[in-house]
Structure 1
Amino acid sequence: MRIIRYTNAQSLPQLAAVNEHEAVYNLEQADFISLVNEARDAGKSILEFVQALVSGKSPVTEKLDQLELLVPIEAPEVWAAGVTYERSREARNYEATGGKMDASTFYDKVYDAVRPEIFFKSTAARTVGPGDYVQLRSDSEWQVPEPELGLVLDSVGTILGYTIGNDMSCRDIEGENPLYLPQAKMWKRSCSIGPAILLKEAVADPYQFQITSTIYRDGEKVVEGTASTGQLKRKLEELVSFLVRDNEVFAGTVLLTGTCIVPPNEFTLANGDRIDIEISGIGTLINPVKSAD
C-alpha cells in the first residue's frame, strides 16, 4: 500500500491510498503524520488502518497517472547519508583527487568508520515533488542527480515508510574542499522526493529495492544506471540511529540513504534535462531541470 498526495478538483491537497492494482482511494486525514497518529490511537499498524479505511470504498475515477501529484509528505527536514555505497566512495575519491582513478582519500575512512556521514540536506520550502523542476546551482560546472531510497521517520526515528529522493549535488564544489559540503548539497530546489510513500509493513525486505536512474536530454536518453539497496554498506536502522542520537527529529523527517548510481565523470546536468528515478514498488520520481534564476 502506498500513500500519495495530489491536487483535487477544488485545487486542494488530497491524501490518498494506492493499492497493488493502482486503484486510488481518497482519505480524510489532512496529511501522512495525521494518518500515522490515528492508526496508533486505534491500536493498529498503518497498513491495517489504511486497509480498513478503504475497505468497501469506491476508488476515484481518475487513474494514478492522471493525477497532479504533490510531495507525499511536506518533510520538515530532509537529511542525507553519504558514502554508503562502494560506487559513491569511488566517485568522492575521484572528485577529491582531481581525477585520479585509484587514489585513496579520507572518504575511505568515512566508508569504513563506525560513524556514518550524515548531513542536513533540505527543508520543506526547498524540497520539490513529482513533476516540479529541480534547479541547477549558478556557481557549479559539474552537477548530477543522486537517486536514493528515502526513509520517512517519526519523532523517535521509527521507519514509517519508504520514498524516493533526489539529492542534487555539485561534484566540483564538494571535490574542491570537503568543508564546502553544505554549498555542494543545499540550495533552493536542490532536493526532490516522491511520488509516494510505500508503507513499511508492505515491504518484506528493504534490501531488495531495485533503483533505476535515467537522464534525458532533448528527448534522448543520455545516462542510465541501475543499483540495488542490497549494495548498501550500512543497515538502514544504523543510519537512523546516528541521525536521532542527541538530536531532535521531527515527525515526517526524511532520511536519504545514499546513492550507488553516479553518471560518467564527464557528464553534467544542463537546463532542459529530465531526471527519472524509479524504485521498485514505490514508483517513478520525474523532475525537469532548470538553470538558476
Structure 2
Amino acid sequence: MTPIDAPEGLWLGRCWTPDAQGPAIVTLRDGQLIDITSTTAPTVSHVLDLPDPAAHIRDAQGTPLGDFDTIAANAPAPDRLHLLAPCDLQAVKACGVTFARSMVERVIEEKAAGDPARAEAIRARVGQVIGDSLRNLRAGSPEAAEVKRTLQAEGLWSQYLEVGIGPDAEVFTKCPPMASVGTGAEIGLHPVSTWNNPEPEIVLAVSSTRRILGATLGNDVNLRDVEGRSALLLGKAKDNNASCAIGPMIRLFDGNWTLDDVRRAELTLTVEGTDGYSLTGHSSMSEISRDPEDLVAQTLGRHHQYPDGVVLFLGTLFAPTEDRDVPGEGFTHKTGDVVTISAPGLGALTNIVRLSTEAPEWTFGTRALMANLAARGLLAPA
C-alpha cells in the first residue's frame, strides 16, 4: 500500500538526511520528496505558524531528495533517507473516549480490572442494558445524560462516562515533543502488558494561534490491562518508548480538501502477524461524539497556550474484541505484527510491533534538534 494516495494534495513532512545527520522539512512534488528547509521555516512548527503555510509550501524553493515511494520504504537508520513523524516542536496531545460506542470498551476495561478473561461477561451485560442507544450519540446532549443515568442505575457507572458522554473531553499528553516515530518505524509495547491494541486515529495539525491547518494519521498504542487496573496509570499505558506513531505526512487543508473531509473520513486498520494471524478493523469519523473543532477548543485557548503548536489525536471507534488465541480473552498484539492504518486522502501509516525495550531508543530530542539546526546555519536570529 502506497503511503500517499493523493499526490495532488499539499503535503508537509520530515525526512532524516544522513548528510546532515538531522531532519529536513519536506513536501511532495511529482512523486519526488523535496527538501524545503530554510532559515524562515526550519521546523514544521515554524511552517505552521507562518501567515500562509500553504503558499509557503507551494512556492518554496527546494532540493529533490529522491523518489518518495523509495524513501518511504526505507527502514529508519542513521545512514539512509527515511520518513520521520511529521511533527517536531509541537506538543503531542490525544483525546480519549470520543466515540460513545467505543466508550463501552473503556468501561469494560475498568470493570474487568485489566483482566481480559472477565471482559466478555461484562460486555454482554452492558449490551443488555443499553443496546444500540450509543450509536450517533452526541456528548453533552440530553440523550447522553439519559444513557449515563441508565448505566448508573445498573451499577455500571465509570469515570469514562464523564469524558465519553459528558460535557468535558478527555485530553492527555501522549508523548513528549520529538518522541513520535514515523511510518516504517518500530512501535513499542511496554513489556509488562499482556492485553493491548493499536488505536487508528486522525491527528490534527494545529498552530500556536489555534488554526487547524491539516491532518495526518496516528497510532495511539494502548495497553488495555495497564489502564484497566487504574485510570491513574494512563501515563504508563500510553507513553513509552516508540509508543506513538504519526504519519506519513501532514496533508494541509486547501480548496480541495478540508476539515469536512476529516469529519467524513473512514479509517481502515490491518494487523498481520508473523503467525499468519490477520485482523481488519474500521473507524468512521462520522460517528465521533465530539466535533474536531470542539476538541481543539478544549485543548488550547485562553486556558492553555501552546506556543509551538499542537498535534492532536482525535480518538478512535476501533476496539478489538475478537479472540486471537485464548477464547474469551479478545485481541492482543504479538511482537512482529505489522500494523497499517489508512484513510482515503491521507495515505497509510505502517509500523512493526516490538517491545518498547527492544525498539530503538529515543535519543534525538529538542536539544539535539536545536544543536543540529544551529550547526547547519538554519537558526536565524530572533
Give the TM-score of the pair, scaled to structure 2: 0.69
The reply to whether residue 117 of structure 1 matches residue 170 of structure 2 is yes
> What SS does structure 1 have at the residue aligned with 2:307?
coil
1:270 maps to which residue?
A: 334
Deviation at 1:176, TM superposition (A): 1.8
Runs of 4+ deviating beyond 6 Å: none
2:347 maps to which residue?
A: 283
Instruction: Considering fraction of residues, name the structure with more strand.
Output: 1
> What SS does structure 2 have at the residue aligned with 1:184?
helix
Which residue identity does 1:51 align to in structure 2?
R
| Counterparts of 1:108 and 1:33, CA distance in 2 | 34
Deviation at 1:69, TM superposition (A): 0.9
Which residue identity does 2:221 align to in structure 1?
M
| Counterparts of 1:203 and 1:105, CA distance in 2 | 40
2:66 to 56, 62, 67: 62
Deviation at 1:249, TM superposition (A): 1.4
Give yes or no for contact 1:7–1:70 (8 Å, CA) kept in 2.
yes
Show structure 2 runs of 5+ residues with no match: 1-9, 72-81, 113-118, 127-155, 323-329, 358-382
| Counterparts of 1:209 and 1:250, CA distance in 2 | 29
Per-residue CA shift, 1:203-231, capped at 9, x if unaligned? 23221222111111117452111222111
1:156 maps to which residue?
A: 209
> What SS does structure 2 have at the residue aligned with 1:126?
coil
1:203 maps to which residue?
A: 257
The reply to whether residue 130 of structure 1 matches residue 183 of structure 2 is yes
The reply to whether residue 48 of structure 1 matches residue 55 of structure 2 is yes
2:237 maps to which residue?
A: 184
Which residue identity does 1:62 align to in structure 2?
G
2:35 maps to which residue?
A: 26
| Counterparts of 1:92 and 1:222, CA distance in 2 | 24
| Counterparts of 1:28 and 1:76, CA distance in 2 | 17
Identity of aligned residues (%): 28
1:105 maps to which residue?
A: 157
Per-residue CA shift, 1:220-277, capped at 9, x if unaligned? 4521112221111111111111111411313242111101112225111111111111
CA RMSD of aligned residues (A): 2.2
2:137 maps to which residue?
A: none
Show structure 1 runs of 5+ residues with no match: none
Q: Radius of gyration: which is bigger?
A: 2
2:228 to 175, 181, 189: 175
